[in-house]
Amino acid sequence: MSLYSATIISQGTSYPNELTGSLYQFIEDTPGVLFHSIHNLAETKAIDFIVQLEHEADQKEVVASITPKFKQFAQDFNAKKEKKDRIDLILQPHEGRKDKKLFIFDMDSTLITQEVIEMIAGYAGVEDKVREITEAAMRGELDFNQSLAQRVGLLRGIESEKLWDELESRLIVTPGAPELTKGLKKLGITLGVLSGGFIPLANRLKKKLGLDYAFANNLKVETDSNTGKEVLSGETFGEIVNGDKKAELLQRIAKENGIDVKNAVAVGDGANDLKMMGVAGWGIAWNAKPKVQEEAQCALNSTSLRDVFYILGYSDPEIEDLIK
């Protein structure tokens, strides 16, 4: 018997009262899917509808056919609602959700709420120009390497001596990230951050959140001939951490730790995160760009990364035990 979880997570503080009835009726009306049971994960915030596939022999075919239907149900439901009443619906095999061994996160707009390169650009008054390029790259409209070179070129001449200390003091960690990483570590899960941003801050975030790995880009520095001070040269050095590199690094980390990539999860918001989501067993698009929401295995658009626990099948009492 193949069981699947249709996990509903409110994007606000609670899902609308009519949701459970609407979803139950949708399941009843969907060929090849049978209602099995309900498991409440969090009062009014998250709930599991467990369903059974009617035809075991055609499991892959049925899954391929019903996943778009569940996605369409959520889209139709959300179209009638304000943000606070919208939901995310995640359909996945019920068994094995808690068997994850590796979590890899993007940094900018995922583990932190900001885009670091835009913060640096503010020192040179080119924040708007950099933001425009960044947004196009994250939507998948520009080649990442070329967009990075363009953006980094605009940073030339910024004093670097105290740059990273100042930026660290301004970092805003995404709500729920400390609780999520603490709980995942308690479960013995290996954690890493792979960023198209810059290694000084990635390393500091690694230490702050207790991660095991951090990989990001390196900025070259030079001496200003007029002031004698160390400044950014407008170039990077070493390998670029782009989408391909993120996928490669995820697989390398998994291999180093004897982890099957099917038990790996990749979390990110930009187009350059899609390849690592593709090689991981599961991908979570976190408040992501439309292209990423469409192509990732699931999307989470709530206000706290703590809600990732619901995707793994943990209830509030279990989560509280993990993060205390």
Q: Encoding tokens for residue 156? A: 């030339």
What is the predicted pLDDT for the residue at 185?
98
CATH class of 1-95: alpha beta
pTM of this prediction? 0.94
Report pLDDT digits (tens) over 220-268: 999 999 999 999 999 999 999 999 999 999 999 999 999 999 999 999 9
User: Which residues sit opposite 191 in a β-bridge?
Assistant: 103
Q: Encoding tokens for residue 302? A: 């709530």
Report pLDDT digits (tens) over 80-107: 999 999 999 999 999 899 999 999 999 9
| pLDDT of 58 above 70 | no
What is the predicted pLDDT for the residue at 60?
65
What is the predicted pLDDT for the residue at 65?
79
One-letter identity of residue 25:
Q
- Rounded Cα distance between 150 and 283, Å, is 29
- Calculate the CA 263 to chain-centre distance: 16
Average pLDDT, the chain: 95
Catalytic residue among 85, 88, 106, 273: 106
From the CB of residue 61, how many other CB atoms can be counted at a distance below 10 Å?
12
| pLDDT of 138 above 90 | no
What is the predicted pLDDT for the residue at 1?
66
| pLDDT of 130 above 70 | yes
What is the predicted pLDDT for the residue at 59?
61
Is there a catalytic annotation at residue 212?
no
Q: Encoding tokens for residue 94? A: 């019920």
Find the angle CA(9)-CA(23)-CA(94) to the nearest 5 degrees.
60
Worst-scoring range by mean pLDDT, 56-60, 93-97, 211-215? 56-60
Find the angle CA(212)-CA(218)-CA(221) to the nearest 5 degrees.
140
Report pLDDT digits (tens) over 283-315: 999 999 999 999 999 999 999 999 999 999 999
User: Under DSSP, is residue 233 helix (H, G, I), strand (E, B) or coil?
Assistant: strand
Q: Are 201 and 214 in contact (CB under 8 A)?
A: no
Catalytic residue among 108, 269, 273, 307: 108
Mean pLDDT of 194-210: 98
Concatenated DSSP letters for 237-263? ES----HHHHHHHHHHHHHHTT--GGG
- The DSSP 8-state label assigned to residue 159 in this structure reads B
What is the predicted pLDDT for the residue at 57?
57
- Rounded Cα distance between 119 and 163, Å, is 10
Q: Are 134 and 117 in contact (CB under 8 A)?
A: yes
Is there a catalytic annotation at residue 99?
no
Mean pLDDT of 179-189: 99
> Quick one: CA dihedral 270, 275, 278, 281, positive or negative?
negative
- Split at pLDDT 50, 70, 90, the class of 140 is confident
Q: How far lies 227's CA from each of 152, 156, 159, 223, 230, in Å?
A: 21, 14, 10, 8, 9
